[in-house]
């Protein structure tokens, strides 16, 4: 492909090298990727968002994993037509009010990830409303959504001065994961980096992405995406301690497309024989037209036995044409 003196659409003009020169086009699987040394050489590639999930005591490991992903890009991206995009909450999440911190991370990073790499050393992390820690919630949420999830535990000695209660919590959580599959271990950050590349190769074989096909400019359409949201209210228990209660649970549907969606309706269905979905507070309620980049919410009634993962069937109109789409949502 002939070099160009101007950066292609979707690629930052101030980036140097492959890892920092990536941008993902909205809705398309292929992007031009630049390797900038004065001139631009581009190629088409599938872009896979790789979430690095871990508690706060694994900074060295997270950096080793990110270097491993960038190293894979440098060695293999152009030949395989695949680019790995590392995602970490401390660098990729956008600060925002209106929901719990973990809820915002779930929306921005976890639910959007293609592959999840989870790491543990001697800390499990802080409990969230839905799980024993934020990392644990990210693992469980991604596994429930059917994404490739890899989990490694450190074999290094517990550091002097470590919180022994946290170390025990890690072991207890590890036991809950054993029935779900094969867990990994690492002896050092470099050992972990090597094993991450092995896992990525395995995922690419299973995903079978194939050659990239450039899409012609698409017609304007609505793109509706559903998600779960809730608020947390502090309250005092009978011992004078602050606890948090989940309130205002709701299903939110956002139009991320380029055309209005008219008469949006939602129906919730169970996943599995012995589960049932949440109930919509007003089953007959119909959202007004969702213009691009707008959203609407339905209150949810959660009860004992309600499944935390359920199917959402969304129907809407664009002109005289009816559309329908089913998605899985984790609460």
pLDDT tens string 145-196: 999 999 999 999 998 889 999 999 999 999 999 999 999 999 999 999 999 9
Contact between 212 and 46 under an 8 Å Cβ cutoff? The reply is yes
Over residues 200-219, mean pLDDT: 83
pLDDT attached to residue 8? 35
pLDDT at 286 over 70: no
Say if residue 81's pLDDT is above 80: yes
Asked if pLDDT for residue 308 goes beyond 50, the answer is yes
- The pLDDT value recorded for residue 54 is 96
Higher pLDDT, 147 or 2: 147
Poorest-confidence range of 16-20, 138-142, 257-261?
16-20
Nearest one of 103, 87, 104, 83 to 95, comparing CA atoms: 104
Q: Which residues pair with 10 in a beta bridge?
A: none
Residue 147's nearest CA partner among 93, 196, 92, 206 is 206
| Confidence (pLDDT) at 17 | 35
Q: Has residue 285 got a pLDDT over 80?
A: no
Distance between first and last Cα of the chain: 46
Q: How confident is the model at residue 58 (pLDDT cuts 50, 70, 90)?
A: very high
Antiparallel, parallel or unpaired: β 149-154 and 44-53: unpaired
Mean pLDDT, rounded, for 92-116: 93
For β-strands 149-154 and 82-87, DSSP reports them as unpaired
Is 300:281 a contact under the CB 8 Å cutoff?
yes
284 vs 56, residue with greater confidence:
56
Residue pair 8/34 in contact by the 8 Å Cβ criterion:
yes
Which residue segments constitute the domains of the chain, with CATH numbers given? 1-42 (no CATH), 46-207 (3.40.50), 224-330 (2.60.40)
Note the pLDDT of residue 7.
34
Cβ neighbours of residue 234 closer than 8 Å, sequence gap 6 or more: 242, 243, 244, 245
> 179 CB contacts (<8 Å, ≥6 apart)?
none
Report the chain's mean pLDDT, rounded to a whole number.
Answer: 84
User: pLDDT class for 20, splitting at 50, 70, 90?
Assistant: very low
CB atoms within 10 A of CB 273: 5
Residue 238 pLDDT grade (very low, low, confident, very high; cuts 50, 70, 90): confident
Q: How confident is the model at residue 280 (pLDDT cuts 50, 70, 90)?
A: confident
């Amino acid at each position: 492909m002939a070099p160009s003196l101007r950066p292609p659409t979707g690629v930052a003009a101030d980036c140097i090298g492959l890892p920092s020169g990536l941008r993902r086009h909205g809705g398309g699987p292929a992007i031009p990727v630049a390797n900038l040394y004065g001139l631009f050489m581009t190629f088409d590639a599938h872009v896979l968002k790789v979430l690095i999930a871990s508690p706060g005591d694994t900074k060295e490991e997270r950096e080793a994993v990110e270097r491993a992903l960038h190293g894979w890009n440098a060695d293999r991206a152009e030949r395989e037509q695949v680019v790995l995009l590392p995602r970490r909450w401390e660098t990729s999440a956008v600060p925002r009010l209106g929901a719990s911190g973990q809820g915002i991370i779930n929306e921005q990073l976890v639910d959007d990830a293609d592959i999840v790499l989870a790491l543990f050393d001697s800390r499990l992390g802080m409990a969230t409303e839905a799980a024993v820690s934020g990392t644990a919630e990210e693992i469980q949420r991604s596994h429930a959504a059917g994404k490739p999830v890899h989990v490694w535990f450190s074999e290094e000695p517990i550091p002097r001065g470590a919180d022994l209660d946290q170390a025990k919590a890690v072991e207890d959580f590890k036991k809950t994961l054993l029935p779900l599959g094969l867990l990994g271990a690492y002896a050092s950050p470099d050992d972990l980096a090597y094993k991450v590349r092995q896992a990525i190769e395995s995922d690419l074989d299973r995903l079978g992405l194939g050659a990239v096909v450039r899409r012609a400019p698409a017609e304007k359409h609505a793109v509706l995406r559903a998600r779960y949201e809730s608020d947390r209210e502090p309250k005092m228990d009978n011992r004078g301690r602050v606890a948090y209660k989940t309130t205002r649970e709701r299903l939110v549907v956002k139009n991320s497309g380029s055309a209005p969606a008219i008469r949006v309706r939602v129906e919730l269905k169970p996943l599995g024989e012995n589960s049932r979905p949440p109930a919509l507070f007003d089953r007959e309620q119909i959202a007004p037209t969702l213009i691009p980049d707008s959203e609407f919410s339905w209150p949810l009634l959660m009860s004992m036995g309600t499944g935390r993962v359920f199917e959402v069937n969304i129907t809407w109109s664009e002109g005289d044409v009816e559309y329908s789409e089913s998605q899985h949502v984790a609460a």
